Structure 1
Amino acid sequence: MTKSALIFWGGWDGHEPEACTQRLAAMLREDGFDVETHQGTEILTSTDLTRFDLIVPMMTQVQVAPEGLKALIAAVAAGTGLGGFHGGMGDTFRAEPYYQYMTGGQWVAHPGNFIDYRVNVTGGDDPIMAGIEDFDYHSEQYYLHVDPAIEVLATTTFDGAHDPWIKGVVMPVFWKKHYGAARVFYSALGHNAAELDHPQMQTILRRGLAWAAR
């Protein structure tokens, strides 16, 4: 049976939400999903979200009406999978702690902005990370506030070159978790549409979203 996915997009243009939506929608369709894309948050209250097997937020720094947030959280708690990446999921509704409780983390900083850093695989026994070895990446190195209940799949270590007081801090990059009856997957990588074609990042993202889907 074909699975269905919803991508709702908008917010800060710096994360290229429309281009990322188009690229991700093509990837999901290649992986056998029926995909709907909608700009804005109105879709959260204008349809039954539980009809989707996967929901992907693609919005940064957006406000949401209480009824929209309530509908999203209820659908995920009932079993609709949730997945996404970078600020599109990790900084979607910055003022909403219940959203962050569901996703497992919240962006707070990226010291040095675009830099070279290393991603270290910690969940090598997990099918999402199968065959993936540590790799180098050039982008924002996300510093996040994270839920201790997440299952970490890969990390990065801050070298202190930009903010010396965080030297040696080990930060999750990919994780998965459960929320209610649903599976949740997150990637801190993926600042713009071009990053979705990074080989390791794309492989992990595709596997993670497939895992999260009901």
Structure 2
Amino acid sequence: MREALIVWGGWSGHEPEQCANIIRTMLEEDGFKVYIENTTEAFADPSIKDLSLIVPIFTMSKIEKEELSMLTEAVRGGAGLAGYHGGMGDAFREAVDYQFMVGGQWVAHPGNIIDYRVDITRPDDPIMEGIESFPYRSEQYYMHVDPSNEVLATTTFSGDHAYWINGVTMPVVWKRKHGEGRVFYSSLGHVSAEFEVPQMRTILRRGMNWAAR
């Protein structure tokens, strides 16, 4: 049986506990044995190297050196890493080794909650199969991203809330390798209610399954 660890905490505005429970149900439905922790100390446990999947939901906050070392070692060794929005893409801002592994870091969401469009760039990828470009209402993440990411979906900024980024196309969903581990990220999912959007939920679910060894 595949085993997954969800570690939640950090800024409460992203409803990490509620989202962790939603993801636990999704993974259990897909046959995972799921463990949930709410402290970064869980990353320091050497046994995480044997997991199939690690899902961080920990906006901002700090991670200790030994915790980060064990986490990155586990992923380089083959454990999958998957997550979404600020829970993975805006965690541990001072930890550059973490950002190197994730493949990006949040820097802004001009206009806060707005309507925008998610464009599918790889409809041939199994994670995106059957999903067409769709409208979305949430924070439109502007990120600093790794050019080695395999981008599956993007969004284009209008410039209405920051004129200097008018027309900028930004990755929304990507996958990548970090050592032997698979890494998946989606910037969708500001609060737990967004899991009710079928495209958001399906993309994340498929991405977690892809990342898991």
Q: Return the TM-score normalized by structure 2.
A: 0.99
Return the letter of the residue paired with 1:156.
T
Cα deviation digits, residues 114-159 of structure 1 (max 9, x gap): 0000000001110000000000000000000000000000000000
Residues 57 and 88 of structure 2 are in contact (CA less than 8 Å); yes or no, is this contact kept in structure 1? yes
Give the aligned partner of residue 159 of structure 2.
160
TM-score, structure 1 as length reference: 0.98
Letter in 2 for 1:186: Y
DSSP-derived class of the 1:42 partner: helix
Could you tell me which residue of structure 2 aligns to residue 52 of structure 1? 51
Q: Structure 2 counterpart of 1:178, which letter?
A: K
**SS of the residue 2:200 aligns to:** helix
Percentage of identical aligned residues: 59
**Per-residue deviation, 1:46:** 3.2
C-alpha distance in 2, partners of 1:185/1:112?
A: 26
Q: Distance in 2 between matches of 1:206 and 1:10?
A: 20
Which range moved further: 38-47 or 127-136? 38-47
Matches for 1:23-102 after TM superposition, within 5 Å = 23-102=22-101
| Cα distance in 2 between the residues matched to 1:42 and 1:15 | 20
* Equivalent position amino acid for 1:31 in 2: D
Residue 121 of structure 1 is matched in structure 2 by: 120
SS in 1 for 2:201: helix
SS at match of 2:122: coil
Ranges in structure 2 where 5+ consecutive residues have no aligned partner: none
Tell me how far 1:44 sits from its aligned partner.
1.3
Aligned to 2:184: 185
CA distance in 2, matches of 1:69, 1:48: 14
- Give the Cα separation in 2 of the matches to 1:68 and 1:46: 8
The two structures, once aligned, show a CA RMSD in angstroms of 0.7
Query: Which consecutive aligned stretches of 4+ in structure 1 deviate over 2 angstroms post-superposition?
Result: none
Instruction: Compare 43-52 and 127-136 and name the one that shifted more.
Output: 43-52
Counterpart-to-counterpart distance in 2, 1:71 and 1:47: 7
Number of corresponding residues:
213
Residue ranges of structure 1 left out of the alignment (5+ in a row): none
8 A contact 2:58–2:87 mirrored in 1: yes
| Counterpart-to-counterpart distance in 2, 1:157 and 1:44 | 35
